[in-house]
Amino acid sequence: MDSIDIFPWNDNFKTGLPNIDEQHKKLVQLINRLASHVAFQSDIPALNAIFDELANYAVYHFDTEEAIWHRYFPEDALELGHKATHRHFIETICQLKEDKANKSPEKVINEVLVFLSRWLVAHILENDRYLAMIVLAMQAGIPLEVAKQQADGQMQGTTGTLIDIIQSIYEGLSTNTLALMRELMERRRDQESLRKLSLAVEQSPSSIVITDLNANIEFVNEAFVKATGYSRTEAQGNNPNLLQSGKTPPQTYLNMWDTLLRGEVWQGEFINKRKDGSEYIELALVSPVCQADGVVTHYLAIKEDITERKRLERRLAEQLAFTQAVIDAEVDGVAVCHSIAEPPYVHFTVWNPSMESITGFSLEEINRLGWYQTVYIDPDTQQRAKQRMERMRQGEHIQGEEWTITHKDGGHRTVQIFTTLCAQDADGAHVLAVMHDITKRKRAEVALRESNQLLHSLLNSIAEGAYGVDTHGNCTFVNRAFLRILGYENTDEIIGKHIHELIHHSYPDGRPYPASECRMYAAYKRNQEIHVEQEVFWRKDGTAVPVEYWSQPIITDGVMIGAIATFVDISERKKAEEASQLAAQYARSLIEASLDPLVTINGEGKITDVNTATEQVTGVPRDSLIGSDFADYFTDPEQARRGYQQVFSQGAVTDYPLAIRHTSGKVTDVLYNATVYHDGNGKVLGVFAAARDITERKQIEAKLISSEYRLRTIIDNEPECIKIIDARGLIVMMNPAGLAMLEAEHLDQVLGKTVLSAIAPKYRKAYTELHEQVLAGHTAQMQYEITGFKGGCRWLETHAVPMKESDGSVVHLAVTRDITERKRAEQQLRIAATVFESQEGMMVTDADQIILRVNKAFTDITGYTAEEAVGKTPRILQADRQDHSVYTSMWAKINATGAWEGEIWSRRKNGETYPEYLTITAVKDQDGMVSHYVGTLTDITLKKAAAEEIEKLAFYDPLTGLPNRRLLYDRIKSALAASHRNSRKGALLFIDLDNFKTLNDTLGHDMGDLLLQQVAGRLSACVRENDTVARLGGDEFVVMLQDLDDEGDAAVQQTAAVGHKILLTLNQPFRLTEYDYSSTPSIGATVFNAYGQSVEELLKNADIAMYNAKTSGRNTLRFFDPQMQAIVHN
């Protein structure tokens, strides 16, 4: 929104109190925003929001002010009067807001601005300024009454008059400013509207022309220039007749001017000519332009090029003639009808030859005798047909409903009817009906249905889930096991859905699984048989189920129409990580219904157009078919040409027998219906022909045989036992898988035998009861143990269902699987569960390191229960005592080798850190991908403490905590090696306490030990962190200095400085309990580098130097090398 400041803030408004000045400034900003709304005519809801914000802000501001006044002059008349002023302000604002209902918005707003202008100036320059003067004086230490007098003096004089003058100026200035801004905004809006109108005219896709009353052109837009080819300069000043082609009737222009002179709008068409001479048809709307007083000053024409629309209208007329020819040649019955009030209540206007063939009645007969009375003999069917017709009139049309009609010869036919509304006129709704004769197909379906009952019983009895998909991946059938395994209640939830998106949409880790990568689809995409041993399907409730599945393509007549898949739940096998083959491949044939071949042929016998069915039946692509001789694709071309000539001589042929040869050599027997079609002038353009495939009847018998063969192939190749047992319990059928389970060499060994002989004795009674349940019509299953012909023992699981034979008897159909491996896996699982609860802490995570399981020892060590740990990551145990690189290195080794072990710091639930020995092993699946991690952890706190204590006893002096002789030797060796690398010097200071034996003899060894401990502390304080202070034993100490200067003289001076520091420090008195004791040291020094010196030699040199210090009077420093000693003296 645009804004205006009618109160520009400046220093004249300031009171000297920052908090109050900041509040005043914000209040002024609110008033300026209100003025901006008025000036730029914002909507009233925005003003209401400003009112509410102004009132709320005022309350907050007044609370701030009143808190200051109350702190400096509580309950004074000044405070009470100021509060009353504040209440008056809020009451006035609220009253002005309520007045909106009785006054115009503009008047209310002006009153608000006048009130705010006067009140704000008076409030800031008089009341608040006066009180602020008093507060500032009191802050300077002046009493209240004196501060009042001082403020009165400052406010006297011309202040009151000045305030009145400022108020008058602001009132006039604000009102005039707002009025001026409003006028400017109105002019700006008018200019913007004019600009938009001009832009719309200029960018209009229609040609716009404005002429004076003499029809001279004054204005044309860009669309006119593009449409006519005349520039604006060429058009302006000319008469529109420069576009006349001479083909527009003169009466058209007379009618136009007659209409315009009456002051009315004229609309019509012109045949005009462009500048380049090309003609076009134009739809024009011409209107007189009137001034406010009604006087016509100009004419406005808006014109549109409709040349293309006219051309399409001509093509439409030709297309209608072609459509009629298509209808007449259509194999299916086609009719158009509408309801009439009198009998026979339905009148047909279109009735093609196929409709007459299906019903036996001509158009004249059906309209005379009546539709309901001829094809629907049964009264109930007649009534149902009338009700259906009424619903069609209301818009509810038939989409493939099947009806039984009576042919004129008395025979019954089954038809499939499709209807839709095709027109609406004075006669009412016209309904287009298409009738497809499916009598032969229905007979074939009955035969196929009976032949498939055994297959359906088998599929619904097996334990494996089974489903089929078409070439688009949509599900065509599922069995009961599919519903049970994946948690669906009925097939309606599955059939017609994209099976991959329903049950196979994600990888086990939840990542999307694209259908293009699904291995099952190779079954029909690349004509391959697929077997996937480990995969994940997704149940209806969103949980995953591991499966093994098989898939193979379904091929009919050499054409792949989809795939069939079976799968088994391998959850138990996954738990034991054992592979077991649980499913087999099934095959099932589906019949594909295709459209009839259609073709158009010109007068020379050349094909002009075909549909997809023609491409399929000939094996020739459309581009090659068009332009070729139609007769070349029949087994008898001459017979085809005779039929073609017959169409031209008779106008049409019906059921003309021919045979089409596919490029592969396949022959399709067809009956042709053909008719000629004409152009809009009645000229014959060619022939439209439709073929009906009559090979279906022959193929159905072959498919029945093929279906039985496929069923036998499925049973024989099923990896699980499929057997049929009669009511007496004798085996009447068993597939090869069953023979293998019984260790039988051939079928004769088991046919006519009872299955109980192979079942372990303790399971025979239960199996007999199962057999009786199945014969009673129930489904049952059980697990039992068998002994084969060769003595082998197996565990089996059987699923049994009743099956009715052709003679009506019930037999026992069973599918049995070998679960021996699963039983072994269950035993191994029980053993593994016992091992898991060991004394070592154990945890199992998934591939994303989410904890899945922990044992009791884990809880004992970490403090986390299984409920607290499961679902978390091992990071809950991570301590801060090691660098992050430790974990990086750990996982790098796990990823490279599959395992890691070592010591690491961890943290218990209570926050305590502890050392543990951790072993991590990656568990991989059959594809080599990590599926889990197993961690074993041991608390080694006590072990670490013991190791540290041993190390301390081995390398440190137990009395002083200093390194002992052994550790000193190691560090001197390291120092020599470092000196060799960097050429820097080192030094040894051998320190012996003077007269230490006397202390032990006089005060006792306890005092001696206390002195040694204090000496150790003082020596450590005299050296750097990387230097070493060690105790050799008794009162002997050694200080090793490292990284001295690489120049010998400088290194000597550095060593001497440390030695003198030690002398000074140890000469200070020691406090030994209640005794003050003074001690002095004798120090021997030697400087070393890395060349030709051993540890023993260095210590010996330093010891000799120490004895020199002893012989020199004690409490002094002596170097082993006299030259070094000279350097110190000099």
Same domain for 796 and 894, yes or no, is: no
- CA-nearest of 530, 811, 564 to 710 is 564
Mean pLDDT of 707-736: 84
Backbone phi, psi, residue 154, to 5°: -70, -30
Tell me the three state secondary structure of residue 210: strand
Average confidence (pLDDT) over 133-145? 85
**pLDDT class of 1020 with cuts at 50, 70, 90:** very high
Weakest-pLDDT range from 321-335, 619-633, 634-648: 321-335
CATH of the domain at 741: 3.30.450.20
Q: Are residues 20 and 117 in the same domain?
A: yes
What total number of domains does the chain contain? 8
The pLDDT assigned to 1067 comes to: 95
In the chain, what percentage of residues exceed pLDDT 70? 87
Average pLDDT, the chain: 82
- Is 529 in the same domain as 542? yes
Highest mean pLDDT among 133-147, 516-530, 631-645, 1072-1086: 1072-1086
DSSP string covering 924-966:
E-TTS-EEEEEEEEEE-HHHHHHHHHHHHHHHB-TTT--B-HH
Whether 710 is in a domain gets the answer no
Tokens of 439: 């009598």
- Average pLDDT for 814-828: 81
pTM above 0.85, yes or no: no
Domain termination residue (choose one: 945, 979, 1009): 945
Residue 600 C-alpha from the chain's centroid: 50
Could you list the residue range(s) of the whole structural domain that residue 741 is in? 720-823
**219 lies in the same domain as 127:** no
- In which band, very low, low, confident or very high, does the pLDDT at 288 lie, cut at 50, 70 and 90? very high
Q: Are the C-beta atoms of residues 843 and 851 closer than 8 Å to each other?
A: yes
389 and 454 in one domain?
A: no
**What would the 3-class secondary structure string for 137-171 be?**
HHHCCCCHHHHHHHHHHHHCCCHHHHHHHHHHHHH
Side-chain half-sphere CA neighbours of 354 within 13 A? 27
- Per the rule left: phi > 0, alpha: psi between -120 and 50, beta: everything else, 416 is beta
* Mean pLDDT, residues 840-853 taken together: 89
Please report the sign of the dihedral spanned by the C-alpha atoms of residue 520, residue 524, residue 526, residue 528: positive
User: What Cα–Cα distance (Å) separates residue 137 from each residue in 125, 149, 546, 717?
Assistant: 18, 11, 87, 110
The per-residue pLDDT for range 923-944, each reduced to its tens digit, is 887 788 988 898 888 888 777 7
In whole angstroms, how far apart are CA 624 and each of 430, 635, 686? 40, 19, 19
702 found inside a domain: no
The answer on pLDDT for 586 being more than 70 is no
Report for 1-5, 325-329, 365-369, 446-450: range of highest mean pLDDT: 365-369
pLDDT band at 590; cut points 50, 70, 90: very low
Give CA torsion, residues 1057, 1058, 1063, 1066, to 10 deg: 150
Bridging pattern class, strands 598-602 and 684-693: antiparallel
Residues sharing a CB contact under 8 Å with residue 1038, sequence separation 6 or more, in sequence order: 968, 988, 989, 990, 991, 1028, 1029, 1030, 1031, 1032, 1099, 1102
Q: Classify residue 791 by its DSSP letter.
A: S
DSSP state of 343: T
Residue of higher predicted confidence among 217 and 186: 217
Q: How far is the C-alpha of 220 from the C-alpha of 495, rounded, in Å?
A: 64
- What is the predicted pLDDT for the residue at 642? 86
Q: Would 701 be classed as within a structural domain?
A: no
pLDDT at res. 49:
67
685 conformational bin, left if phi > 0, alpha if psi -120 to 50, beta if neither: alpha
For residue 415, what is the enclosing H or E element? strand 412-425
The stretch 178-195 carries a mean pLDDT of 60
Angle, CA of 242, 245 and 247, to the nearest 5°: 145
In this predicted model, what pLDDT tens digit does every residue of 70-119 receive, in sequence order?
888 888 887 788 778 788 777 777 777 777 667 777 777 777 777 777 77
| H/E element, 1096 | helix 1095-1111
Predicted local confidence at residue 956, as pLDDT? 87
Long-range contacts of 348-355 (CB under 8 A, 24+ apart): 349/430, 352/327, 352/328, 353/328, 353/652, 353/654, 353/673, 353/675, 354/330, 354/673, 355/435
Name the residue among 1122, 969, 1114 with its Cα closest to residue 1038.
969
Tell me the backbone φ, ψ of residue 609, rounded to 5 degrees: -165, 150
Per-residue buried b or exposed e for 74-112, using 16+ beta carbons within 10 Å of the residue's own CB:
eeeebbeebeeebeebeeebeebbeebeeeeeeebbbeb
Using CA atoms, how far apart are residues 1050 and 166, in angstroms rounded to an integer? 87
Q: Is the pLDDT of residue 190 over 70?
A: no
Q: How far apart are CA 479 and CA 946, in angstroms?
A: 68
SS3 of 631-667: the string is HHHECCHHHHHHHHHHHHHHCEEEEEEEEEECCCCCE
Buried b or exposed e, range 644-670, using 16+ CB within 10 angstroms: beebeeeebbeebebbbbeeeeeebbb
882 and 1015 co-located in one domain? no
Judged against a pLDDT cut of 60, whether residue 184 lies above it is answered with no
User: Among the three residues 945, 975, 993, which one is the final residue of a domain in this structure?
Assistant: 945
Flag whether pLDDT at 37 surpasses 90: no
pLDDT digits (tens, 9 = 90+) for 636-687: 888 888 888 888 888 888 888 888 888 888 888 888 888 888 777 778 878 8
Tokens at residue 93, please?
């604002």
Q: Are residues 566 and 606 in the same domain?
A: no
- Residues 481-511 have pLDDT tens digits of 898 888 998 888 899 888 888 888 888 888 8
How many Cα neighbours within 13 Å face the side chain of 219? 11
| Tokens read off for 850 | 């989410």
Q: What angle do CA 468, 470, 476 make, to 5 degrees?
A: 45
**Residue 1059 in tokens:** 């030695």
Query: Looking at the structure, do residues 735 and 849 belong to the same domain, yes or no?
Result: no
DSSP H/E element including 109: helix 105-122
DSSP single-letter state for residue 693: E
CA–CA distance, 1083 with 987 (Å, rounded to integer):
12
Q: Check pLDDT > 60 for residue 831.
A: no
Averaged pLDDT, 24-43: 69
Domain-embedded: residue 99: yes
Q: Are 977 and 984 in contact (CB under 8 A)?
A: no
CB 1119 within 8 A of CB 1105: yes
Rounded distance between C-alpha atoms, residue 898 and residue 632, angstroms:
70
Look at residues 892, 912, 945 and tell me which one is the last residue of a structural domain.
Answer: 945
Q: What is the pLDDT of residue 166?
A: 53
pLDDT score at 795? 92
Residue with tokens 């049995």: 816
Residue 864 pLDDT > 90, yes or no?
A: yes
The answer to whether position 510 is within a domain reads yes
Q: How confident is the model at residue 141 (pLDDT cuts 50, 70, 90)?
A: confident
433 and 446 belong to one structural domain: no
Name the burial class of residue 209, with classes exposed (0-12), middle (13-18) and buried (19+) by CB atoms within 10 angstroms of its CB.
buried
Answer yes or no: is pLDDT of 340 > 80: yes
pLDDT band at 592 (very low <50, low <70, confident <90, very high): very low
- Please tell me the distance from the alpha carbon of residue 916 to that of residue 939, in angstroms, as a whole number: 4
Tell me if 522 is assigned to some domain.
yes
The Cα–Cα gap between 167 and 161 comes to 10
765 belongs to a structural domain: yes
CB of 1063 within 8 A of CB of 1112? no
Nearest 5 degrees, angle CA 29-CA 35-CA 39?
A: 140
Residue 321 has pLDDT above 90, yes or no: no
Which CATH number belongs to the domain containing residue 82 in this structure?
Answer: 1.20.120.50
Residue 573, exposed/middle/buried by CB under 10 A (0-12, 13-18, 19+)? buried
Which one, of 476, 393, 470, lies nearest residue 427 by Cα?
A: 393
pLDDT digits (tens, 9 = 90+) for 902-924: 889 999 999 899 899 889 988 88
List, in order, residues 6 or more apart from 451 with CB less than 8 Å away: 704, 707, 708
Which of 814, 813, 819 has its CA nearest to residue 797?
819
Cα dihedral 513, 515, 518, 524, rounded to 10, equals 170
* Cis bond before residue 250 (omega within 30° of 0): no
Q: In this predicted structure, what is the pLDDT of residue 583?
A: 30
> Is residue 2 domain-resident?
no
Nearest Cα to Cα of residue 568 among 712, 458, 714, 719: 719
Asked whether residue 963 falls in the same domain as residue 1102, the answer is yes
Instruction: Examine the domain organization and report whether 179 and 215 are in the same domain.
Output: no
What are the residues whose beta carbons fall under 8 Å from the beta carbon of 292, sequence distance 6 or more? Answer: none
Q: How many residues does the chain have?
A: 1130
CA distance 291 to 289: 7
Quote the DSSP letter at residue 682.
S
- Contact (CB, 8 A) for 828 and 576: yes
Calculate mean pLDDT across residues 235-261.
Answer: 90
Q: Are residues 183 and 222 in the same domain?
A: no
- 589 pLDDT tier (thresholds 50, 70, 90): very low
